[in-house]
Amino acid sequence: MLLKYFYDKSLAHASYMVGCQRTGEAIVIDPSRSIEQYLDAATAEGLRITGSAETHIHADFVSGSRELADQVGAKLYLSDEGPSDWKYQFADKHSSQLVKDGDVIRVGKIKLEVMHTPGHTPEHISLVLTDEGGGANVPMGIFTGDFVFVGSIGRPDLLETAAGVVGSAEKGARQLYHSIERFKSLADHLQVWPAHGAGSACGKGLGAIPSSTVGYEKLFNPSLQYHDEQEFVDYILADQPETPFYFAVMKRVNKVGPELIRNLPEVRAVPPVDLAKTTRDQLVLDVRNSASFAQGHVSGSINVPSSSLVQWAGFFVDYNKPLYLLTDSDSIAVNLRSLRSIGIDNVQGYFDLKATDITKNFTETYPSESPQALAARIEDGSVRLLDVRAATEFNEGHIAGAEHRFLGKLLRELTQIDKTKPVVAQCLAGGRSAIAASILQKAGLNVINMTGGYNAWRSAGLPNHLEQVTTAGA
């Protein structure tokens, strides 16, 4: 048997390929849309991908199951658990098998037993792996998807916060409690292979270690220490990360079935002469690093560095409207892959940074200043301080007088911000506040980015401006 691990750091997403070396067959668990990595790995190992399984309808990335079915004829194994509203609607377009609790998926000598583990989502399943060609013929591990992570569990509130299903958060939390009780009955030696690691918004406090064991999680996972259902519900619904707006889109896309990449239109370079007008009429994302953007950019563009596209573009992009990129011809493919991984397919064109005279459009700048230079003005109120970190970060400690405006919601809350004073954008280290500065400037505000953010403020020895806030059950 071959077990291969794949990890997309930008999405904190883990996927797996399990292969039977006796028969040459392989199955991919929770594949991403960029399937080349699986095809290359299978070729290198002398395997052919015959199946693709999903633990649930994902909310944070576009699944690659349809791509595998289209390109190599992989059979799809999809959950048939949960209510009618959360059934896969593309199963009949490909060779597929809808599975329920207790069903078995076989790939050569590999056995995957379906275990219904609702809570994160109603249809969620986990897959218990047995290598029947390995001699022992007992289960060796479990693919838990977004059910059990290393040091955490999947959040149960996404259907409510992302898809608007009122009341589903508490219902999901109670389902999750009972799913955990079932997980605890598994043998301690079973390895745990989750679909996400640290940084994912699908849970809180995820560990960075790629795998664990059932026994270890039973001992040390905080979410598995509750023996009272209501106490667990209160715990799991508190202090969850902000839900990215695009999660609602991903739920729909992965339920209905994502468009095949080969059917998407070609993204071509747009003449530089159209840049200023396009930026006035449409959303243009400048994917350069923030330092370059601050020194000169097109008025009205938003800066989301290439390394942050997956994390932040889904908050700002209207999936129903055209999007344009300011990048270069060498990087367009990488940037498109990032955007398409979260379903942003409506990219109508890009402006090539290498084009002649393109920099003539870079007529706007914004300043960056240190905490020391800004401290007096923040204290006397001559500038308005916006802390754009997550609410949990803000509540753990922030600069006195700061107004909390989470970066992901900033574009939607611009009308609520006072424009009569200069605005200082601040985050933890200066990266997110630079993105915020571009959004605020696009809205016509006089903006300053605080270099180094909250970390630099504290390091500068400005304790009189710190507030430690403790929240209980919030």
Residues 188 and 305 in one domain: no
**Which of the listed residues 328, 361, 394 is the one where a domain comes to its end?**
361
**Which of the listed residues 221, 256, 291 is the one where a domain comes to its end?**
256
Q: What's 221's domain CATH number? A: 3.60.15.10
Strand 104-107 versus strand 25-29 pairing type? unpaired
Q: How far apart are the first and last CA of the chain?
A: 46
Q: What's 399's domain CATH number? A: 3.40.250.10
Residues 457 and 379 in one domain: yes
Helical (H) or strand (E) element with 348: strand 347-352
Residues 429 and 391 in one domain: yes
Q: Please give the residue range of the domain that contains residue 272.
A: 266-361
* C-alpha pair distances (Å), 14 with each of 63, 69, 209: 12, 20, 11
Strand 48-53 versus strand 368-369 pairing type? unpaired
Residues 108 and 185 in one domain: yes
Q: What's the pLDDT at 254? A: 96
Helical (H) or strand (E) element with 214: helix 214-220
In a domain, 239, yes or no: yes
Q: What is the pTM of this model?
A: 0.91
Residues 45 and 76 in one domain: yes
Residues 306 and 451 in one domain: no
Q: How many domains are contained in the chain? A: 3
Residues 191 and 336 in one domain: no
In a domain, 474, yes or no: no
Residue 393, judged by CB atoms within 10 A of its CB (0-12, 13-18, 19+), counts as middle
Residues 123 and 216 in one domain: yes
Residues 14 and 142 in one domain: yes
Q: What 3 state SS string does 43-109 have?
A: HHHCCEEEEEECCCCCCCCCECHHHHHHHHCCEEEEECCCCHHHCCCCHHHCCEEEECCCCEEEECC
Q: What's the pLDDT at 209? A: 87
Tell me the CB-side half-sphere exposure of residue 88, using CA atoms within 13 A: 29
**Which of the listed residues 361, 396, 430 is the one where a domain comes to its end?**
361
DSSP-derived secondary structure letter, 399: E
* Nearest CA-CA partner of 24 in 3, 54, 1: 1
In a domain, 261, yes or no: no
Region of 78 on the Ramachandran plot (φ > 0 left; ψ -120 to 50 alpha; else beta): beta
Q: What's the pLDDT at 298? A: 97
Residues 326 and 245 in one domain: no
Residues 154 and 246 in one domain: yes
Residue 158 to residue 98: CA distance in whole angstroms: 23
In a domain, 125, yes or no: yes
Region of 426 on the Ramachandran plot (φ > 0 left; ψ -120 to 50 alpha; else beta): beta
In a domain, 98, yes or no: yes
In a domain, 473, yes or no: no
In a domain, 472, yes or no: no
In the block, residue with structure tokens 């690093």: 289
pLDDT tens-digit profile, the chain (474 residues): 999 999 999 999 999 999 999 999 999 999 999 999 999 999 999 999 999 999 999 999 999 999 999 999 999 999 999 999 889 999 999 999 999 999 999 999 999 999 999 999 999 999 999 999 876 789 999 999 999 999 999 999 988 877 777 889 999 999 999 999 999 999 999 999 999 998 777 777 787 789 999 999 999 999 999 999 999 999 999 988 888 888 889 999 999 999 999 999 999 999 999 999 999 999 999 999 999 999 999 999 999 999 999 999 999 999 999 999 999 999 999 999 999 999 999 999 999 999 988 999 999 999 999 999 999 999 999 999 999 999 989 988 999 889 999 999 999 999 999 889 999 999 999 999 999 999 999 999 999 999 999 999 999 988 554 454 433 332
Residues 305 and 432 in one domain: no
Residue 468, judged by CB atoms within 10 A of its CB (0-12, 13-18, 19+), counts as exposed
In a domain, 26, yes or no: yes
